[in-house]
Amino acid sequence: MSIEVSLKTLQRASQGQHQPIEQTMERLPQGVRRLAVQLRTSVPVPDLWSVLTDYEALSDFIPNLSRSTLLGRQGHVVRLSQIGSQQLLGLKFSASVQLELSEHRPEGLLQFRMLKGDFRRFEGCWRLQAVPDATLLLYDLTVQGCLGMPVALIEQRLRHDLSENLLAVEKEALRRGLV
């Protein structure tokens, strides 16, 4: 098992220099990848939570998420249907998943797992943690593509997309004027 760690600094026009996004990637057996990205932001935990749990609006601001539909809720367990799409090597690729999410608001934890969909495995969590003068926003994903899906291609896209997703959540919280 190898772990690759990279730090990249992303620029935002409206904010100037942005905090570095920490990113890790593990290559696990059978084409499984575990990726985690973390952003340090000034947006408070409750405001980020509000954005992350606005399930039907997620496709309005998350890049490459075409649709997010709330299928049902029982207490702190939520079921969603999502479709993501993007251009890869000049071809349009789309994948759908049906997710079960468990909301643990006091802990700032939103866990998810695929019930059915276009991957063999798709699970992870969003974690929000207040630290002095900031909030840590973490997205952790374990994914395994279907047979015939090139692992290296998925890995490349996810490394880019996960960082973009964190920035999109932060930007949406700022846009809503929650801070």
Q: Report how far residue 63's alpha carbon sits from residue 160's, in angstroms, rounded to the nearest whole number.
A: 11
| pLDDT at 174 exceeding the cut of 60 | yes
Q: Taking the CB of residue 30, how many other CB atoms lie within 10 A of it? A: 8
Q: What is the pLDDT of residue 3?
A: 33
Q: What is the pLDDT of residue 161?
A: 84
Of the two residues 10 and 73, the one the predictor is more confident about is: 73
Q: Report how far residue 84's alpha carbon sits from residue 105's, in angstroms, rounded to the nearest whole number.
A: 26
Q: ∠ CA(51), CA(53), CA(57), 5° rounding?
A: 65
Q: What is the pLDDT of residue 11?
A: 32
User: Whole-prediction pTM value?
Assistant: 0.84
Q: Residue 7 pairs with which residues in a beta bridge? A: 22
Q: What is the pLDDT of residue 88?
A: 66
Kindly report, residue by residue over 93-126, the tens digit of the pLDDT.
Answer: 788 999 999 999 999 999 999 999 988 999 999 9
Per residue, what are the HEC states of the chain? CEEEEEEECCEECCCEECCCEEEEEEEEHHHEEEEEEEEEECCCHHHHHHHHCCHHHHHHHCCCEEEEEEEEEECCEEEEEEEEEEEECCEEEEEEEEEEEEEEHHHCEEEEEEEEECEEEEEEEEEEEEECCEEEEEEEEEEEECCCCCHHHHHHHHHHHHHHHHHHHHHHHHHCCCC
pLDDT band at 89 (very low <50, low <70, confident <90, very high): low
Q: Report how far residue 138's alpha carbon sits from residue 110's, in angstroms, rounded to the nearest whole number.
A: 10
Average pLDDT over residues 4-13: 31
| pLDDT at 39 exceeding the cut of 60 | yes
Amino acid at 138: L
pLDDT band at 18 (very low <50, low <70, confident <90, very high): low
Q: What is the pLDDT of residue 178?
A: 53
Mean pLDDT, the chain, rounded, equals 84
